Amino acid sequence: MPHRHVQRTGPFALARTLAWLRLCAIAGQSVAVLVCSEWMHLGIPLLPMLLGIGLLAVFGVFAAWRLGQPWPLREWETIGHIAVDTLVLGYLLYFSGGATNPFITLLLVPIALCAAALSVEALLAVSVLAGLAYLLLLRWYVPLPRPVHDNIDFSLHVIGMAVNFIITAVLLGFFINRLAYALRLQQLEVQRIRERALRDEGILAIATQAAGAAHELNTPLSTMRTLLPELRHEHAGDTLLAEDLALLEGQVDRCRTILREMVAFGKAQLSQEPERLSVAQFIHGCLERFQLLRPEAELALTLDEATGRTVLRTPPGLRHALLNLLNNAADASVIRHSNAVALLVCRDEGWLHLRVRDHGPGFDTNGEFILLGYSQKPAGLGIGLALAEATAERLNGELVAHNTEDGAEVCLRLPLAVVAEK
């Protein structure tokens, strides 16, 4: 089932705010009408006013249903919601004194909310609607019944103004703060997407350069692979030189193997065909490769049997992401003269956790270590963590890092719904 994107700002956020306001209005208006009629014994038209509140409640149910639908909410729909609320409020004010009612200023609330969430055109439309309602209520309305004593009438008016002031202040303060908070969240999301785009652009540039370098390196590596056996044969009597030449030949073969793996990885990435392996098979395959790259590393693996039997649809980049984390952990441990690296694999509430721990100095920044090009190692390129984070995001996961008592831990969290075989 596809995930429906929830709008945090704009028409949807305003419509959601209006839904809560409408609920508060229904409750408040019902209490106010009943208090005026039953407790204060004012001769207001009870039945027409309760009918208007009932119509608002029916529309509130419809609006709540609409907000739960998958199709996007347009701006004109939000203006329609505001129009219904304004008409119902104007209807209630018509039977309760019109513009002389202290609660007439509630017509300004939708205008203030629109100013924070909608376009200028929508704001003008809502302002015109509220202005027309106010002008009509200046001329046509049912006067409120006057109490016997004029001072009581004045006191009721003052009390109404005070209650109206409190309601308006609370509504504007609370709901505009919510809209502003939603806007800040959107700005942070835009900034995060921009940073991701810049990082991905940098990764793509590095990948392009790496592909060109791999193509160009193939020829000199083939030449060295041809010449080294001949040199070994010519200097067979020199034991030390023969050992050095054998080491060089092994390194050349390793470079050629890496280039072939790069090409194979590129083909697998283009095909988008995941490799189906159990977690145990995947982890042990990664560790075998890591031990070849870092034979001096002392790796401790923690993997329970239930997690090990989970079958993964392993994407091509996941193995490289884990190897990057293990290699970074080994480099960090070496800084403190240790070769110890720990890998903890577990599953929890629909997530697969790959935790890599080291015994190094830890991170000395506040979460900026994933920026492309940043590295705490003197000879580091600063792309290992960035590549791992890009892989995690591509799989709807995340990369979380924090310092521990004797080093650091980087956790690659992946949703089993994406990476596990169904």
pLDDT tens-digit readout, 81-114: 999 999 999 999 898 888 888 888 888 888 888 8
Residue type, 191: Q
Q: Are residues 336 and 359 in contact, defined by beta-carbon separation less than 8 angstroms?
A: yes
Please give the Cα distance from 222 to 277 (Å, whole number). 34
Specify the pLDDT at position 104. Answer: 85
Distance CA 18, CA 12 (A): 10
Q: Which of 300, 402, 304 is nearest to 352 (CA)?
A: 304
pLDDT of residue 396: 85
DSSP string, 208-225: HHHHHHHHHHHHHHHHHH
| pLDDT at 195 (0 to 100) | 65
3-state secondary structure of 286: helix
Q: Is the distance from CB of 161 to CB of 123 less than 8 angstroms?
A: no
Per-residue pLDDT, 111: 85
Which helix (H) or strand (E) is 134 found in, with range? helix 120-139
Instruction: Provide the token pair at 182.
Output: 């939603």
Structure-token match 């952990």, residue found: 329
pLDDT at 2: 37
User: What pLDDT is stored for residue 380 in this prediction?
Assistant: 45
Q: 267-315: per-residue pLDDT in tens? A: 555 555 667 888 888 898 888 888 887 888 888 999 888 888 888 887 7
Write out residues in the chain with pLDDT < 50, as ranges.
1-8, 148-151, 366-374, 378-381
